[in-house]
Structure formats: C-alpha cells, structure tokens
Amino acid sequence: MLTMMVTSFKERARRSSFWLLMGVVVGLAVLATPRSDTAMKVMVLAPKIYQQADNPTWLPVCAASIFGTFLPLFGFGVVANALQTDREQGLWPWVETTRFARLRYGFAHFGANCLILLTMLLLTILATGAMMVLRFPGQGIPAATFVSPFLVLIPSIILLAALALLGESVTAKRHNGLIAVYMFSLFYVFALQLTDPTNFWNLLLNLSGNNYVQDVIDQSSIQATGHPITSMQLLSNYRGPQGTHTLVMTGVHWTRAMLLMMLGEIMVALAITGVAALLMHRARRWRKVRPEPTAATTPKTAPVPYSPVAETHFSWLAVLRGEARCQWQDRSRLYRWALLAGWLVIWIMPETARQQAGLPILWLFSLPWLSDLGTAPKRWTAWLPTMPHAPQRQKFAELIVGAATAVLLMLPFLVHAGAAVPQLLLFALANAVFAQGLASLLNNGRLFTMLLAMFWFLYLNGIPGMISFNRFSLAESAVYLLVIAGSLGLTFAAEYRRQLSAAN
C-alpha cells in the first residue's frame, strides 16, 4: 500500500500543473503576510484597540487563517483526480476485477491526497518562516507558537482528502461540473460552520480548522486586554485610527476535548475512505467499447502515393457553427435548461440582488462549460492535426464562440450598466480568454475552476472594489486587458509547445 501511495503521489507530482499550483501556494503565502501600511490589509483584528501586525507572532496565525479559509475551495480541486489518472492509464479495469486490492488501493490514493495537501501546508509554513525573517529580522518566536496554528489544520486536510476520494468513487468519470457542485455545497457548509463554530457536528466535520485559530486569537486578546476579539476581517481596506495595545499571539492551547474532537474527525475521514474504496466497483463505468468494423470486401489495389489534405471550400461559418455544437452538445440537456432558466431569472431580479448574488451564481454555474475551454478537443484529437492549419483554426474558433457566449451571459448586466459597459464587457471576455489560456497550457480546467471559485468567494464576502457596475473604472479595465493579453500569451505558448512536440 505504501508503494502505491508513493507512486500515486509521484505520478501527479510530475505534471507541470502540480508545480504551477505549488508556486501559486508559495506566492499566496508571501502575499498573505500581514502589514499595517498597505491599502489592502490581509488581516485586521480590532483595529481601534490593537496595533496591527506589529510583531512576528501575527504571521503564522494570519497564514494559517488564510490557508484554512481557502482550504475547502482549493483542497478538493487539487486532489480530485486520483482515480481519473489511473483510468487514463488503463489501470481501472484491473481495480474493478481485483477485489482483494480494493481497500489497499483506496487507502493508497487517500494517503497520496493527504501528501499533496500536506505539501501545500509545508510550503506555506516555509514561506511564512522566510517572510518572518525578512519582516522582523532578529525577532524570533518559540517554535511551538509558530507551528501550532498550522498543526490544527491537519485533521481538516485529512477529511478533505477522504471527501475527494469519495466524490470520485461514486462517479466513474470525473467532471469539472462535479467540482462546481461540490464547491456550491462547501459554500453552504462552510457558512454554517462560520455562523455556529461550537456546534458538535461543525467541530467533528471541520472543513477549515479556523475555529481553532480563532481560539488562539481570542485567548491572546484575553491575555492582552481581558476581552476576546470583537472584530476580525480578512482582506480589509480599513484606513481608520489604530489602537495602542500590542497583541502577541500565544500559540494553540491544547485541551483534551480539542484532541478528542480532532481524533474523531480523523476517524470519520478513515471511515469515509473505507466506504469510498468499497464503492469503487459500483461506480458508473466507461462507455462500452464498440466492436471493430468488419473488413472491407473490395479487391486489393495498388497503394496510392501520400498527399496532404487540400485546403478547399473552407468556411469560417461552418467551423464556428461546428465549434458551438461541440461546446454545448457535450453538456447535458438538464444543465443547458438550468443555465438558461437561471439566465432568464437574472433579467427580472432587483438590481442589488442581481449584482450581489446573480452575477456570482451565474458565473459559478457556467464553470462546467468554461473549464472545458482550451482542453483537448473531444473526438478531434485523432484527425485534427492532419488538416492544414486545423489546430490553430479550431483554437481560434473556440475563442470566438467562448467569448461570444461569455458576452451573452453578461447581457443582463450590460444593458443596465451605463458608463460601466466597457469594463463589464472586458470582464466577460477575460473569463473566456483566461479559461482557454490556462487550460491550453495545462490541458485541464481544474486550476481555472479553483481560481474562479476563490474570486467569487471573495466577492460574496464583500471585498470592495472588485467590480464596478455604475461608473467607468480605468483601473479595472486595465486589469482585465492585462488578463486577456496574458491569457492569449498562454494559449500561444501552449500552441508553440504542441508544434515543437509534433516536430520532434
């Protein structure tokens, strides 16, 4: 089992998307360093009472809080492809026919999922330590104070690794739509846990571990002023006066009840893994292989000299029409009707509800379509390279159809935008172009799905100034233009890499 676990981890770690994701984790850990002299502050704790981020003990608590907040969003998307990788490599028929190995096989992938998430946590710890040395040179803190806020996140990591395996076990073929549905569920469950963090089930099925980090902050505040923290904000633009008290974080206060709850969460994760392993053989299988066609009865003739396909009667209209069919006929009829119904409902929503809730719900619901842009064309990979300039034309047609669909989705907001029409139009185009560019480079839409879910999570939590609906914003337009330009660069880089590999 240990060999299978290490093999599964190495198989996913050798992909470029894995290292890109690890780079994103390190970058976020560096950017999550709290400072009091920036316009957008990573963490604000009772600003009228305490000086903000004035000592190194703030850094591990802030990094652990940010990591725990985004763990439910990133965690599932990062590790939800263990079984899919084995199916692509032809190992799944062996698993289906070998009953004695199923439990070991399931727990091996569960262990690999844990290793990937723990690698992300370790990189966050190392990046936070490096930033602490750079930000507060010569000011050390006890090792237990530094490490303990990260250790309380480990049970949540183990639970998410098990839930990801269960999600794949009950669906024989992994879809990006599953990630979207799962993240909708996580939004709801995570919101419930934030509103009632002391509930028994919320503690037992803790998805983020943030309640333990919050306890650290409250205990530190009680020691400093005799009162727990009354206000806490992540990613705040607070510019008001600061207090005079110094808040020194004391580390996690381990209690018997806390350890028992963490142990219970780990036991639940192990039970979920066992159920997932036993359900694997009941998962929906791949389509049946069609029988090979019978041999032709025509008489043998002399071989014809090879000649490339001639470029005759080419029609962009036919290409665009075929691309539109390919993008939407692969979606289920239920999904297409549901997306259309949601789009029509947004037209009649009040303006405030349309901007605050309608926009994120519409774009999150479009994730299954967006995340497929830029991936290898289904049923085309065999013959597409045989046509002159066909891969480039297909990619361009995909971009045109995707951009047009994105603008159509944004239409209920564009007709009421007034002066903000240019930036909202650029926002819609940036979604389609960024989805295609990132997926073209990585050949999957998982990273785009996670990044977009994180963006809308921040939007739903009231981060100001992300999208302006009533006035033109040059800064927003410039950001969207940069995203479009960078995404087109990713698409061109992926096409150049494909041409190099074909030439070799």
CA atoms within 13 A on the CB side of 154: 17
4/8 Cα distance (integer angstroms): 6
Q: 286, 285, 264, 269: which is closest to 106 by C-alpha? A: 269
Residues of the chain with pLDDT under 70: 16-17, 73, 77, 80-82, 84-85, 87-101, 171-184, 186-188, 191, 281-314, 330, 376-389, 461-465, 502-504
pTM, to two decimals: 0.70
- Give the model's pLDDT for residue 268: 92
Helix (H) or strand (E) holding 42: strand 41-45
**Residues 237, 239, 241, 242: what is their CA dihedral angle, to the nearest 10 degrees?**
40
pLDDT of amino acid 287: 41
Nearest to 113 by CA among 85, 152, 87, 89: 85
Model confidence pLDDT, tens digit, residues 457-488: 777 766 545 788 888 888 888 889 999 999 89
Instruction: Return the closest-CA partner of residue 153 out of 252, 11, 30.
Output: 252
Q: How far apart are CA 323 and CA 432, in angstroms?
A: 15
CA atoms within 13 A on the CB side of 89: 11
User: Which SS3 state, helix, strand or coil, does residue 50 take?
Assistant: strand
Task: Please list the residues that pair with 45 across neighbouring strands.
Answer: 232
CA dihedral 296, 302, 306, 312 (to 10 degrees): -70
Question: How would you class 314 by CB atoms within 10 Å of its CB: exposed for 0-12, middle for 13-18, buried for 19 or more?
Answer: exposed
In angstroms, the Cα distances linking 316 to 308, 323, 455 are 21, 10, 35
Q: In the numeric block, which tokens belong to residue 330?
A: 């692969």
Distance CA 385, CA 501 (A): 12
Residues 357 and 412: beta-carbon distance below 8 Å: no
Reduced to 3 states, what is the DSSP secondary structure of residue 475? helix
Q: Are 413 and 354 in contact (CB under 8 A)?
A: yes
Sign of CA dihedral 209, 73, 168, 189: positive
pLDDT at residue 106, rounded to an integer: 82
Would you call 296 helix, strand, or coil by DSSP?
coil
